[in-house]
Structure 1
Amino acid sequence: MKPVKLVMSAFGSYAGKETIDFADASQGVFLITGDTGAGKTTIFDAITYALYDQTSGGRRDGDMMRSQYADPDVPTFVELTFLYGGKEYRIQRNPNYKRTSRRKNKEGTYTLTKENASVTLWMPDGREFPGKIREINEKIIEILGVGALQFTQIAMIAQGEFIRLLHASSKERKEIFSRIFDTNVYASLQMKLRDQSKSLYGKLEDNRKLCSHEIQGVTYLPESRYGKEWEEICEKLETSPKQILETLEHLLQEMGEREQEIRQQEAENRKQSEETAFRIRRAKELNQLFQQKTTAEEEIAARARLLTQQNQQEKEKSRRFKEFCLQLEAQLPKLSEQIAGWKNLLPKYDGLKEAQEAVLRAEKEQQASRQALEQTEEKLNEIQNMMQKAREQRGKLEEDASKIPALAETVKKLTAKQALLEEMSDTYGRVLRYGKKQKQARQEAEQALQLFQEKSRDYEEKNRSFIREQVGIIAQELIPGQPCPVCGATEHPQKAELSPHAVTEQQVEEAKKDREQADFTLNQRRENYQKAQKDWEREHSLLQQDGTRVFGDSFQPEMIKPAQKECLAGLQQASAVLEEAQKQEKRLKQQEKKQEKLSEEQAMCQQQKEELVKKQYEAALAWETSRQALELIQKELPFPQVCELKRHLERAGQEKLSLENKKAAAETALQKLRQDIAESQGILAEQQKNQKLLLRQLEGKEPAELEELSEYSRQLEGEAKGLEKEKLKLAAGKAANQRARRQLAKLYQERTALKQQYELVSNLDKTANGNLPQHIRLDFQTYVQRRYFRTIIGEANRRLVKMNGNQFMLRCREVEQLGRQGEAGLDLDVYDLVTDKVRDVKTLSGGESFLAALSMALGMADVIQNTAGRVHLDTMFIDEGFGSLDEEARDRAIAILNELAGNTRLVGIISHVTELKEQMDRKLIVKKTEKGSRVKWEAES
């Protein structure tokens, strides 16, 4: 990686936009120098930040790099153009910071707004790399092949970083080398071996668990000869597979033998069950005959009792039937005569119905006439009341309508006054604004006057000083023996001396220009003040004129707002009253029309009333005539209504029919009872015949005892169920054991193959990952990296012995001296060439440590460049450290760096050492000012 151009904007100590073109120092060694705190290290920070979103020292993050000297509207960013592998990349990155907003807020001022962090990467083909901050950071690491920590240790050694490079642990160096030399392939191999070993071990464990599960699931007979042996196998799982399978085979043989025994027992049980069932059936048939004999005796006795009861009932019912027939012969003739008489009266009720309907019609007509008359009278009264109210309302409406002209005039005056007050309020607002502008313009004019006075005094002082210094200038040109151009004297015993801080003519001219500029500004500010004064006076005069017209001589601007509120309230009230009066005027016209309509309705109602009175009299006369005719008809009839006559006829007919039905029912019941007696006599004879037959069949026999046979049958049934249950359980256990035998045979076969694979892979895993017992913890990747490390140390020592005068050299710690705890293998020691002893690298002094770290960085750069890897670092930056060296060591170090740089590499050094400034031809000067730092190249010929 080689930088081409670096642009910093409002970054660190740089307030504006600073550009460093590294084309002026594309190869070789150059010096970065400047005042303390000017921002030399910030250049390294900017490069590291642009690439990795971190600073070179790691002590400040990007959010802290916003320049305190920058104006709020200046953006903060770093843009780096660099070459890598012959291709040019460009990256621009900015942190989170606050800047001035581009738009004003509601108050008309600019506020600070947050600018979020962002990064953009342009690829060699000019296209923008797609992705967010995290993706671009990962892409940079992919391009360069190293992360921020590795970059600061091998390409950009910041203040204090050379010690970290020298004192880095094996773990840290391992991470650096894995990226630089692409040794992750060995780590991947280690990881694959570890994962494969774990996987095989897990498969062995799974196999063991499956075997244990199958063994635990095996069952055996309670009386098994091999049960105890199998229990011992379950407790000791290390039993040989052969013994386990043989024992399991014995258990299966026992189960087969027991199955045969159960089949024989089931056959014997079935035979005994069939014999017992036959005996039970014969016993049940005999007991059933005895039960039939008992039932027949009970039925014969019951039937004899029933026949006796039926004979008694027949005698009683015959007697009651004869008595009922005698009563019926006396009632039926009278009832028939009464029914015939009522039927002859039915035609006379037709005239009664007509007379009743005539009376009802007359009543309805009379009632309708009365209701119509009442409604007409009510409506007439209502119309009279409405006319009275209308007369009263009309008077009130006429009174309200008479006020409309006066109210309209009041509204007109208040509207004009409100408009004038609003105009005065606007004028007062302008007076206040112009007053503020006038005050501001006066202050600006006073400030401009003060500045002009200061510039005038400065010019006058410098001019006077310049004139005074002319004497000293002339005195410097005086030659002994030659006349003075002022006084003509040829001797000059006491010459005027030139002040060490003499004012130049250029300074006088600049002071004069400053005074003229201040005078121009003063005139502008005075014109602005005069214009603001005129604007204020114009608006103030208008306000006073209108105020005097409205409020009189006592007018004050504060009176405007209360007057506006009062006027607005009065205007709203007057407008509301006027609007209501106009509505009342409309109502008055409507009321007049309503009165005319009511008068017409009153006349019509009066005419209707007279007609209804006449109609009501006629209806009353018709009703009285109909009523008298109805009374004459009702006196001749036994019932007032024909419906009552019909009810009596219906009731008499039902009574006659009921008597006839009762007679028929009694006769039928008597016949049914006589039939039942005959049937009972036949059934009794049949039962007595069957009883004699049963007695002949059971002669000489006794009832059988079924309980003992049933108990024995239940016992046989229980034994059969027990055998069936045992058979099913035995079959399930045997099937499970057979499956377990097959599974165990398969699992043991798999275990043999897994054991062979695991032993091989486990040994490879322990060897590759440095976990062999009684051996040094040195993994495969570290073993490979030690080769690179030794090569780096060799390259470093090639320069180190030159720089330290053959005092000491670096050495990779031998395997025998490595510890057994933690990661090791890339540890660094110092071999003292003078004492021929090895010591820890941390025993080096500050200067020695710097030389050693510098040599390590240079050696690493050489190895990286010469290795067929993908990391190419053609640039190295060194921040301080040379101050700890004596002159001889410093000269040797610079010579080595010049040799390293050659024509292809770029080496940048930050240093305050004066001698380095004299030694370096190319220098990047960082200058500190009150407005931030500036940077420029300076080359000496």
Structure 2
Amino acid sequence: MRLHRLTVTAFGPFADTQEVDFDALGAAGIFLLHGATGAGKTSVLDAVCYALYDAVPGARQLKGGATKDATLRSDHARAGTYTEVLLELTVAGRRLEITRRPAQTRPKKRGTGVTTEKAQSWLREYDSESAGWSALSRSHQEIGEEIGQLLGMSREQFCQVVLLPQGDFARFLRADAEARGKLLGRLFDTRRFAAVEDRLAELRRAAEQQVRAGDERLIGVAQRLAQAAGPGLEQPLPARQPGDPGLAPAVLEWAALARSTAHERHDIAESALAGAESRQAAARRLLDAERELARLQQRFADGRRRAEALEARRPQYEEARATLERARKADQVAPALALREDAERAHRKAAADRDRARARLPAELKDSGADHLSALERKMIEELGRVDAARGTERRSAEITRERAELDRQARADEELLADAAGWLAGWDSARRQHQERIETAQEAATRAEQLAGQLEPARSQLDAARARDTLEARAAESQRLLNSARERANDAKETWLDLRERRLRGIAAELAARLVPGEPCAVCGSADHPEPARAGAGQVDQASEDAALAASRRAEAAVTRAEHDHASVREEYAAARSAAGGSTVAELVTLTERLGREHTEAHRLAAGTHAAREALARAEREHEDRLTARRSAENRVAARTSRREALDHEQTGLEAELVRARGGADSVAAHAERLANRARLLAEAADTVRDFDTTARRLKESDDRLADAAFRAGFDTPRAASAALLSGAEQRGLTHRMDDWQAEAATVADRLAESDARDAAERPPARLDTALMSYEAAESALHAASAALAGARERGAELARLSRRAEEEVRGLGPLRTEYERVARLAGLTAGTSNDNDRKMRLESYVLAARLEQVAAAATARLLRMSSGRYTLVHSDARSGGGKRSGLGLHVIDAWTGSARDTATLSGGETFFVSLALALGLADVVTDEAGGARLDTLFIDEGFGSLDDQTLDEVLDVLDSLRERDRTVGIVSHVADLRRRIPTQLEVTKSRRGSTVSLRTEGGGDG
């Protein structure tokens, strides 16, 4: 895979379109990618990864592995500019162009607001024959599958072997076996081996669960056997736990003992039941005989008591019979008594009605007869007919009065309407001028608001720039002070280093003498004799002190570089803010902005009333027309109303003369007619009541005569005596029922006392029922107990037999399950590294990864030897770790100077860097081979060079330079200033307030 060209737009820190020409960078074989912190060096690598895999590297992924598209867009980008990444590369002999746009928002083409654009991808291929590009796909899924097949590696593998993250490999060197296993597992895809471990563990858990479930079921059956057997067994249920191999035999043996005991108990219960049945039958016969004797004795005694009570009630019986005979004679007089009572009630009512009617008549008519009163009634009715003819005239006069009142009301309403219309129309010209002036004022305010809006936004921008200018001026002074301090510290550190170096060189002889060994040749002169070795003088400087001073000097120089970048950035921002702010102060601009804001707000408020003012004028004009029309209608109604009133007055004058004659001294004709009608009604009622009184008097005398005759024929001296002997039907039926009950009771008692068996039983001693009942209940209880004991014994035996069969079935089913569990458990323990057969406690996945790690260590050693001048060798170790940890993924470094091996976690900072670099390069080779041997012509190495001394840095660069063999390109991402002098081809990323930019610097010093 070789990268040719990368173009990014509105991506990360890049606001505008930036292009990276990898062909120009790759011409030198090795190039440097550098820039200030936060400028966007890593964003260049992110763009490459995003173009290939539609996602950024894992360290910058969100939780769940999904990239949040909103975080890819540059905050500096202008609205309407699409975020886009275009990558041109050659892979597997094919030249491809990948373009990706994440989901993003843009301003709506119509109206206001924003809309969301979906993510898009394009894949094109260069056709050498036609010398043009041809489209392949626009599907995210198809493009992802095509690139994945061509590269032969996942995104995680690509980020490890192409974008070499040195920090990850430094942690890899210091990590334990578990952490190394996770990284190697992602790169070499050993999930199938981990899946084997998981599957075997799952099978083991499932088999163990089946065995445990079977044992628990068997224990449950055993517990139910113990419940069914009940207490009394000499040998208790054996206490066993699930998983105990002796559980099954113990349960089967105990079940056989329980069944034998239950059979013996069943035989004993059958014998006890037979004896209880014969005793219960005898007790039952005795109880029945005593109950019959007690019944007969009680029956005869009840007959005696009833006969005595009956004789005591005989006088009442005789009295009821006499009363009933007298009541039946009085029934013959009852109709005459009823007629006498009805006639008397009617006569009393007629007398009362006559008295009330006469009380309402005049005094001269109170003693008049019915005929006289009827003649007066007829005269009143004739006069009432004459009065009714005048009622129509009275109704018409009332209608005329109401109509005149309505005319008066309408006249008052029209007068008010005419007065209101006159007042409103008098002010119409003034009101119309006010509405027109309001519309003109609102239109002028709208024009003024537009002018002020054009002045307000520049004023606000100038105010923001002035505030930023004042703030940046202080920051610029502070950054200048920090830069001066950093330069002073750098000069002091460099002087200290040069002084220590000079002093060390002066005392180098003593330093070399300290390394002399008696009998061994001197490294300088070669002599084995050392007669007068030089001795260290006062203030002797060793190499460690010089190295520490050199490191401090380099740190101080790096601090100066950072301070220069910070100061330049602040100065640039300050110059931009000062230019935008002009010469005005913040206070002046605040005053201007506030004044313009107030004026704009007031003008906008007035302009907002334009529509309302026009609507108000339209409403006023419509009201003017309505009032003119209403005034003309009112004037027409006034003229018509005057003529109508004159006609009504003439008609009502003629009607009033007729009504005076018809009222007869009353207030109205109706009142006079009502008075005549009331008099006629009173005379009619009085005549009727007099006639009713005379009629009822005759009927009362006739009923008295008939009643006296009926009482005499029935045998009563007076009607009053007959009335006293009367009884109602219910009372007579009650006496009859009482007499019948007494006679029926007398017959029943006589039959009862005549029974021979009851009379004989009464002569015998009293029955002993309580004693017989107690004997029977005791026998019955004993029978129930024996029957229940036999049923319990029978059920216990059947339940024990059924549960024993169930236990045998469970034991037969457990055998194969236990065998399968032991086989799977041995395999699972072996692959998981927990079995005693696995001496190194190494998991299956770790075993496979150990082989890969051994290949990586061998590939890394080839470059590590050159970087360390033949001193270090990286080897894989499968020794067991302490503390019970698993083994198989250990890494040791062998020091050729001492011949000892030590853990990679003990390496120093510089050693850790070039060892991790060698490991990363070795891992890239192995992963490439694992992925199918796809050629990687472009590599990136991220940071870590600052921890190397000059000699080691030269050796590392030699190794990286060797990667250029066969036309390979290596990009180094670093802040180290010394690399800028050593690597002439550079891609510099520069940041600013308007976004970052990239520039190409070549060996000739030109920019691209």
Paired with 2:773 and 2:739, the residues of 1 have a C-alpha distance of 46
CA distance in 2, matches of 1:917, 1:636: 149
Q: Pick the aligned partner of 2:804 from 741, 751, 773.
A: 741
Letter of the structure 1 residue corresponding to residue 850 of structure 2: R
**Residues 222-301 of structure 1: matches in 2 within 5 Å?**
225-230=232-237, 240-301=247-308
> Contact between 1:355 and 1:630, CA under 8 Å: does it hold in 2?
no
Residue correspondence of structure 1 range 831-846 to structure 2 within 5 A? 831-844=894-907
Given the alignment of the two structures, is residue 3 of structure 1 paired with residue 10 of structure 2, yes or no?
A: no
Distance 1:621 1:800 in 2: 143
Gaps of 5+ in 1: 343-348, 443-557
Deviations along 1:189-223, whole A, 9 cap, x unmatched? Answer: 11111111222222222223223322223345898
SS in 1 for 2:136: coil
Out of 233-242 and 251-260, give the one that drifted further: 233-242
Of 770, 776, 784, 1:707 maps to: 770
Q: Does 1:926 align with 2:988?
A: yes
What is the CA deviation profile of residues 32-67 of structure 1, one whole-angstrom value per residue up to 9, with x for unaligned ones?
356666765543343345547446986999977766
Q: Provide the TM-score with structure 1 as the length reference.
A: 0.67
1:589 to 2:636 alignment:
yes
Matches within 5 A, 1:744-893: 744-773=807-836, 775-815=839-879, 818-844=881-907, 848-867=911-930, 875-879=938-942
Counterpart of 2:206 in structure 1: which amino acid?
A: S
Letter in structure 2 aligned against 1:639: F
Equivalent residue number for residue 522 of structure 1: none
The alignment partner of 1:6 has SS state of strand
Q: State the alpha-carbon separation in 1 of the partners of residues 952 and 783 from structure 2.
A: 110
Aligned-partner Cα distance in 1 for 2:266–2:699? 95
Matched, 1:127 2:190: no
Residues paired across the two proteins, number: 802
Q: Structure 1 residues 228, 612: CA separation in 2 closer, same or farther (over 3 Å shift)? A: farther
AA at the equivalent of 1:411: W
SS in 2 for 1:8: strand
787-796 or 81-90, which deviates more: 81-90
Determine the C-alpha separation between the residues in 1 that align with 2:417 and 2:174.
111
Counterparts of 2:909 and 2:335, CA distance in 1 = 159
**CA contact 2:340–2:703 (8 Å) conserved in 1:** no
Distance 2:9 2:389 in 1: 111
**1:809 alignment partner AA:** T
The more displaced of 746-755 and 873-882 is 873-882
Residue 809 of structure 1 aligns to a residue whose secondary structure is strand
Residues 221/19 of structure 1: CA separation in 2 closer, same or farther (3 Å cut): closer
CA distance 1:653–1:433, change in 2 (3 Å): farther
Aligned pairs for 1:129-144 within 5 A: 129-130=139-140
Distance across 1 between alignment mates of 2:343 and 2:662 = 52
C-alpha distance in 1 between matches for 2:455 and 2:229: 118
- For residue 639 of structure 1, the aligned residue among 693, 702, 717 is 693
Gap change, CA 1:649 and 1:383, over 3 Å in 2: farther
The AA in structure 2 aligned to 1:589 is N
Matches within 5 A, 1:327-346: none
Q: Check whether the contact 1:45–1:57 (CA below 8 A) recurs between aligned residues.
A: no
Tell me if structure 2 keeps the 8 A contact 1:830–1:840. yes
Q: Partner of 1:215 in structure 2?
A: 222
**Is residue 878–residue 908 contact of structure 1 (8 Å, CA) maintained in 2?**
yes
CA offset at residue 779 of structure 1?
0.9
How far apart in 2 are the matches of 1:439 and 1:673? 121
Q: Say if 1:158 and 1:878, in contact at 8 Å, map to a contact too.
A: yes
Read off the aligned partner of 2:44 and give its amino acid letter: I
Q: Write out per-residue CA displacement over residues 295-328 of structure 1, whole angstroms, 9 at most, x where no aligned residue.
A: 3333444444555544455556667888x69999
Equivalent residue number for residue 423 of structure 1:
440
Give distance in 2, aligned partners of 1:717 and 1:359.
Answer: 109
Pick from 190, 196, 208: which aligns with 2:197? 190
Distance 1:786 1:656, change over 3 A: farther
TM-score of the superposed pair, with normalisation by structure 2: 0.63
Contact 1:383–1:602 (CA<8 Å) still a contact in 2?
A: no
In 2, the alpha carbon distance for the partners of 1:295 and 1:778 equals 106
Q: Is the 8 A contact 2:169 2:919 kept in 1?
A: no
RMSD: 6.2
Q: 1:439 to 1:353 in 2, by over 3 A?
A: closer
Further displaced range: 23-32 or 135-144: 135-144
Shift of 1:583: 3.5
Distance 1:386 1:267, change over 3 A: same
Alpha-carbon displacement from aligned partner over 1:128-173 (angstroms, at most 9, x marks no partner): 4457xxx999998898676666544432224645534544543343
Is residue 2–residue 936 contact of structure 2 (8 Å, CA) maintained in 1? yes
| Residues 693/724 of structure 1: CA separation in 2 closer, same or farther (3 Å cut) | closer
Aligned to 1:17: 17
Matched-pair contact (CA < 8 Å) for 1:390–1:595: no
- Label 1:683 to 1:229 Cα distance change in 2 as closer, same or farther (>3 A): closer
Q: Please tell me the residue identity of whatever aligns with 1:44.
A: L
Which SS does the other structure have where 1:815 is aligned? coil
> Relative to structure 1, is the Cα distance of residues 312 and 872 closer, same or farther in structure 2, using a 3 angstrom cutoff?
same
Alignment of structure 1 residues 371-770 onto 2, 5 Å: 378-379=398-399, 381-383=401-403, 385-386=405-406, 403=422, 408=425, 410-412=427-429, 414-416=431-433, 418-419=435-436, 422-423=439-440, 426-427=443-444, 430=447, 583=630, 585-594=632-641, 596-597=643-644, 600=647, 637=691, 639=693, 688=750, 691-694=753-756, 697-698=760-761, 701-727=764-790, 729-730=792-793, 733-770=796-833
Counterpart amino acid of 2:988? V
Q: 1:603/1:789 Cα in 2 relative to 1: closer, same or farther (>3 Å)?
A: same
Distance 1:122 1:650 in 2: 135
- Pair 1:908-2:925 in alignment: no
Range moving further from structure 2, 593-602 or 4-13: 593-602
Measured at CA, do residues 613 and 837 of structure 1 come closer, stay the same or move farther in structure 2, by a change above 3 Å? same
CA shift in 2, pair 1:381/1:777, >3 Å: same
Map of 1:43 onto structure 2: 44
**Alpha-carbon distance in structure 1 between the residues aligned to 2:429 and 2:768:** 132
Maintained 8 Å contact 1:318/1:670: no
SS class of match (2:237)? helix
Q: Tell me what 2:667 maps to.
A: none
Which residue of the partner structure matches residue 509 of structure 2? none
After superposition, give the CA deviation of every residue in 1:325-384 in whole Å (9 maximum; x if it has no partner).
999999999999999x99xxxxxx999999899689669758967876765665455455
Q: Give, in whole Å, the separation in 1 of the partners of 2:393 and 2:33.
A: 127
Distance in 1 of aligned mates of 2:187 and 2:904: 23
When residues 371 and 258 of structure 1 are mapped into structure 2, their CA distance, relative to the original with a 3 A threshold, is farther
Cα distance in 2 for partners of 1:39, 1:680 equals 128
* 1:442-464 CA distance string (max 9 Å, x none): 9xxxxxxxxxxxxxxxxxxxxxx
Q: Secondary structure at the match of 2:137?
A: coil
Amino acid at match of 1:16: D
Q: Which residue of 2 aligns with 1:544?
A: none
Q: Judge which range, 146-155 or 659-668, deviates more.
A: 659-668
Q: CA deviation at 1:69?
A: 6.8
Amino acid at match of 2:753: Q
